[in-house]
Structure 1
Amino acid sequence: MTVTPLGLFCEPGGFYIDPSRPVDRAVVSHGHADHARPGHRAVLATPDTLAIMRARFGEDRAGDVQQPLGYGESVTVNGVRITLLPAGHVLGSAQVALEWRGSRIVVSGDYKRRRDPTCAGFEVMECDVFVTEATFALPVFRHPPDSHEIRRLLDSVALFPERAHVVGAYALGKTQRIIALLREAGWDRPVYLHGAVEKLCTLYESLGVPLGDLRPVPKGLKRGHPPILAGEIVLAPPSAEATPWARRLADPVTCAASGWMTVRQRAKLRGVELPLIVSDHADWDELLETIEEVRAPEIWVTHGRDDALVHALSLRGIRGRALHLVGRGDEEDEGAPEAPSTEEEADKARGAH
């Protein structure tokens, strides 16, 4: 396995893992834009990830040849055995296990260790080299239970019934997870959606993830129409609260669901009234727990706070290596261009005229 300007390249297999630009042969860990790119000639991924890529890029841009591989199934390419394991990040997300000449490398992609009702949970596989993300690799990041944060949201809705609650959440994975967690907490009323997140919610349901009563935020209101959706919960891209779209809502409480909400200054700078610490990545303790469980003598760190994690590994007698891959972003960052934030952009993304 070598690091190239395009990303991780498996030399004997002749394929890349999550390449940053179109290549002949790609193994894609999950559907987020910093891992799944359009225009590859051949793509191997889980069936759900391929469905997400088709929905986002179009049938003709998700790979000229699309090879689905289910969790726990294996295929051999030029003598390299490829197995996909659940990563627990979003629907369809996978770790990529590579076996060649008696050694095993596991590339985690992005992952979390918390239970998520919308996707399969992370599975541990022991290996010789573990390639891990490090998005929240600082001791300050210790995420509270999801149920605690959802209860804070519901308590706020009860406290301010005259206001709409607008939760900024990433379009793929985070939005659907928040909805599912709300359902588990007993919220059986409609959840209202910004146009930019509707398509992927519909896709999740078509792939067997029930989300309950979902409704679009009403459009076409006449000038002077009273504010709407008081006492309701609205899901939208993180940047939508700052657009004219939000003005139709009843005195909206601005919320944001992200691991970054641990950093209160970050929430304050964004004008977030109710920060919700709900992350789709492993926190500091979970990163170290995972590294201990895979029992790999060598750990490669792909992005995030690699310096802190590599140092922590050295104190444990584990070899750490920062890979500094190009093109890896953070989909929990409010600046990530993952979903359109205006209804006009959302309509264009859906192909509306």
Structure 2
Amino acid sequence: MPPHPKTWLSVTPAGLFCEPGGFYVDPQRPVDRAVITHGHSDHARPGHERVLATSETLAIMRERMGVERAGQIQQPLRYGEVLHINGVKLWLRPAGHVLGSAQVCLEWQGARAVFSGDYKRRPDPTCAPFELERCDVFVTEATFALPVFHHPPAELEIARLLRSVRLFPERTHVIGCYALGKAQRLIALLRQAGWDAPIPLHGALMRLCRLYQELGVDLGELVPATVQGREKFAGAIVLAPPSEIGERWARRLNDPLPCLASGWMRVRQRARQGGVELPLIVSDHADWPELLATCAEVEAQEIWITHGREDALIHALGLRGIKGRALHLIGMGEEGEEDE
């Protein structure tokens, strides 16, 4: 009988450790050997000796951390390419979260575990779509693991945004969005919807958008959102970090209309508290139905949960005859939508 993954995958202060392989998945502290699912800083930490990830994730890590901090030795791995490490079979599948995001698939002595990282099941023109991998243990996030979270199609939220632009042509729509993944997805969705005007960006978003373009993602014309000549931003759609949409920087634009793109905008109180006039429910994480569907479709004996609303998901899985376990990994969910 194959050994249960709990006998060879353990939770340590540094993160999830594959004992026979001698490596960690998304470790929270510097380690000798790290496998990284994607470039958000709650998963990709600096200071590791050896780093294995997709080539896009490695490029994002170098851009955000600097070459010297993104891993002394960096090894790119293509989706589906198989690697054997001390008898452990390892391969990556797309996670659909951001560019380069991957699920880490592990098999040892006939037992299979999949560490999904963060993921979504919706179409995203800026990254490869999620691919299902059946396994014995599936390790999932639970960011939006409450029944209230049913994300609408992102295209409908973009249509709401464009209707608002037509209704208020004199105002500048300033969209708060996370710099890695969300900003680029919004731009691509706007292009798909026919918005072909140059899109002004806050300086904090420009570097990663340029990197996406260098990696082959077409985002159209992007320009710096300088505050000189505020009248030229009338009717424009400007992207900025969430922390800037109600601050002095945004108020210097032409009659700004604050927007925020996040799965948390399903909770209207969050929008009101943040002074958001136009909440856009656009998430890069799976919602409640998608979490439940994914956990069923992988046909795993157990579901391990890294971070988020563990209790609600464990309860719902139990009603479906699936065993759930909270890993309580420290540091996960500290970047992006989890803390917007």
CA positional deviation for 1:248: 1.8
CA positional deviation for 1:226: 5.0
- Structure 1, unmatched stretches of 5+, are 337-353
Instruction: Spell out, residue by residue over 1:235-264, the C-alpha distance to the aligned partner (whole angstroms, 9 max, x if none).
Output: 100001132211221110100000000000
Preserved contact between residue 238 and residue 334 of structure 1 (Cα < 8 Å): no
Where does 1:219-238 land on structure 2 (aligned, <5 Å)? 219=227, 221=228, 227-238=231-242
Aligned counterpart in structure 2 of residue 44 of structure 1, from 52, 72, 87: 52
- Structure 2, unmatched stretches of 5+, are 1-8
Give the match for residue 277 of structure 1. Answer: 281
Give the match for residue 28 of structure 1. Answer: 36
Instruction: Spell out, residue by residue over 1:293-332, the C-alpha distance to the aligned partner (whole angstroms, 9 max, x if none).
Output: 1000110011000000000111011110011110012534
Task: Supply the AA of the counterpart residue of 1:186.
Answer: G
Where does 1:165-176 land on structure 2 (aligned, <5 Å)? 165-176=173-184
Task: Supply the AA of the counterpart residue of 1:261.
Answer: M
Find out whether 1:246 has 2:250 as its counterpart. yes
Q: Give, in whole Å, the separation in 1 of the partners of 2:272 and 2:82.
A: 47
Q: Which moved more, 1:196-205 or 1:246-255?
A: 246-255
Q: Give, in whole Å, the separation in 1 of the partners of 2:216 and 2:67.
A: 21
Give the match for residue 304 of structure 1. Answer: 308
- Report how many residues are paired: 332
Aligned counterpart in structure 1 of residue 125 of structure 2, from 113, 117, 123: 117
Q: Give, in whole Å, the separation in 2 of the partners of 1:326 and 1:266.
A: 25
Instruction: Spell out, residue by residue over 1:13-70, the C-alpha distance to the aligned partner (whole angstroms, 9 max, x if none).
Output: 1111001111111000000010001110000000000000001111111100000000
Give the match for residue 16 of structure 1. Answer: 24
Q: Give, in whole Å, the separation in 1 of the partners of 2:150 and 2:66.
A: 38
CA positional deviation for 1:151: 0.3
Find out whether 1:267 has 2:275 as its counterpart. no
Aligned counterpart in structure 1 of residue 201 of structure 2, from 184, 193, 204: 193
Give the match for residue 143 of structure 2. Answer: 135
Give the match for residue 85 of structure 2. Answer: 77
Give the match for residue 342 of structure 1. Answer: none
Give the match for residue 3 of structure 2. Answer: none
Please state whether the residue corresponding to 1:239 is helix, strand or coil: helix
Give the match for residue 346 of structure 1. Answer: none
Where does 1:48-63 land on structure 2 (aligned, <5 Å)? 48-63=56-71
Q: Give, in whole Å, the separation in 2 of the partners of 1:268 and 1:162.
A: 23
Q: Could you state the TM-score of these two structures normalised by the residue count of structure 1?
A: 0.92
Preserved contact between residue 139 and residue 306 of structure 2 (Cα < 8 Å): yes
Identity %: 69
Aligned counterpart in structure 2 of residue 154 of structure 1, from 162, 166, 183: 162
